[in-house]
Structures are given as structure tokens and as C-alpha cells.
Amino acid sequence: MDKYGLIGHPLGHSMSPLIHKKLFALSGIEDYSYDLIDIAPEKLAESESRLRELKGFNITIPYKTEIIPMTDKLGESAERYSSVNCISNDNGVMTGYNTDCDGFLRSAELLPLGGKVLLVGCGGVGRMIAIEAALHGAELTIAVLPDSVKNAQLVMAEILAKCGNASVKICLVNEIEGGFDLLVNATPVGMYPKVDTCPVSDEVIENSLSVFDVIYNPIETLLVRKARALGRTAVGGAAMLVYQAVKAHELWYGGEFDTEDISAIIKDVEAEVEKMNG
């Protein structure tokens, strides 16, 4: 039996078992296990032998950087972001990947990532989205709260180091001006249970032609609802969550999936989130 799992701390409720069960089923794989493995921070180093028994595993907060010394090599995206959320164990060789990147790009492939992009927030996944937008030729504006300006400046410097001709500027959230082809929310504003909050003003939403929200709970954030009410294309985070898992299966054993099947899993995840919230 091939063993897989998700490591993190604390794990709490996770959509990973549901998603991976459906992906294994689509691949016709029955002889496997996928476990939630909650590892306390002081126990991570001593867990290496246990983790090396797994065929592959996913990594969530707080171990996306802490896991790197345990890998034998890194894929290109993991090197680019110094962040690993998936490991494939090929005959004892542990290779770390960043499939969050793939999840975002695949779920946002119909959005104008290379246009005028407004990114709200730049920590964690926001940093990755900022760099990807710049690499796609975006005219990028990073909007943050005052206490995150220094972090935004670091991300801006990183972008310019990787892509010297990139167009990047920083502003405060309450000082956003102009129109945008794409508005991306990479903050937790609007996440369950505080579902009545929105990261930007109605005016900013009106001045944006499309929206991507990394939040998947609730399925339709206030930001997404407002954008759709204006007739804008708006994508929530459930697709990104599923597609990063799809990439993991491609890496683990060469899994191949139809778009229709993945769309069905996204709907299953959305239904599960709604049921979970009552």
C-alpha cells in the first residue's frame, strides 16, 4: 500500500482527504492511505523517518519552509518561492514542489493576469501571486495596510530582482486609484466566520473588470458576490485548492485528469464547505 498524507499544525478540519480520495478514485487507485498528520513544531525534525515512509505528502502551515531541509532536491517553483507544499518520494529521493503556484495559475487561466493587476495583501500566497503576475507581464499594484508596507517593499524588491523590467508599485488599501483588469484578494478578509467583510471599497470593485479571491470558505465571499452582481467574472479559491492537489497527483504517479472531472470535484468541495457551515 502506498501511503500519502498532509502534515501541518494545527490541522483542524481539512478538505484534503475529500479531494485526494476523489482524485485517487478517478485514477483507479484503491490500495492507498491518505492521513492527516498533525506534527507539533518541536517534533518535525524527528518525524523525518516517518515521513520518508510516505510515497508523497502535502505540507501546510507552518511547515512550508521548515520542511525544505528534509528534501533531497527542489522543483523549479519551490526554488523560486522557497516554499514547499508537496513532496514526492521517488525511491527514497524526496523532491519538494510548490503546487500552490500551479493551483493559482490553472484556476486563474481565463483571467487577465498580464494586464493591470491590483493585488490586495502580499504575505504567503500573495507573494507568490505577485511574482507570477510580474512574470506574466502585469502592471502590478500591491495594496496593503500600513503595518504591511515593509513586507510589500521586500516583495517588490524580490520581483525586481527576478524580473528587472517589471512594473510594480505599492499603495495603501484606502488609497487605491484607477481601473484594473484584475483584482486579486490575497488577504483573509471575508473568510468564514467574518463573512460580512470586504477587503476593498465598492468603488474599487466597480473599477475592476475581473476578480480572484483566494478564500474558499465561504464559497462566495462578499467580494465575489459584489463583483458578480456587477456582471464581472469572479473566481473563488475552491478551484485553486483542488488544482494544487491535482498537480500533486501528477507528480506522485503521473495522474491524468479531465477538466470535467476536476470541475465536478470543485463543486463537491463547494458543497462540503456549505454543509460544514450549516
Q: What is the pLDDT of residues 198-212, one digit of tens each?
A: 999 999 999 999 999
What is the residue type of 84?
V
End-to-end CA distance of the chain: 36
Query: Rounded to whole angstroms, what are the CA distances from 2 to 103, 140, 223, 244?
Result: 24, 43, 41, 20
Asked if the model's pLDDT at residue 12 lies above 90, the reply is no
Compute how many other C-beta atoms are within 10 angstroms of the C-beta atom of residue 86.
28
Return the percentage of the chain with pLDDT > 70, whole number.
100
* Strand-pair category, 93-97 with 86-90: antiparallel
Using alpha carbons only, how large is the chain's radius of gyration in Å? 19
Helix (H) or strand (E) holding 213: strand 210-213
3-state helix, strand, coil in the chain (%, to 5): 40, 20, 35
Q: Which of 173, 172, 154, 226 is nearest to 195 (CA)?
A: 226
Q: What pLDDT score was predicted for residue 124?
A: 87
CB-count burial class (<10 Å; 0-12, 13-18, 19+) for 226: middle
Asked if the model's pLDDT at residue 278 lies above 80, the reply is no
CB-count burial class (<10 Å; 0-12, 13-18, 19+) for 153: middle
- Active-site amino acid positions: 64
Q: What residues have CB less than 8 Å from 140, skipping those under 6 apart?
A: 117, 119, 130, 133, 134, 159, 166, 167, 168, 169
- For the stretch 36-74, pLDDT in tens is 999 999 999 999 999 999 999 999 999 999 999 999 999
Domains located in the chain, CATH noted: 2-97+239-276 (3.40.50.10860), 103-236 (3.40.50.720)
pTM: 0.94
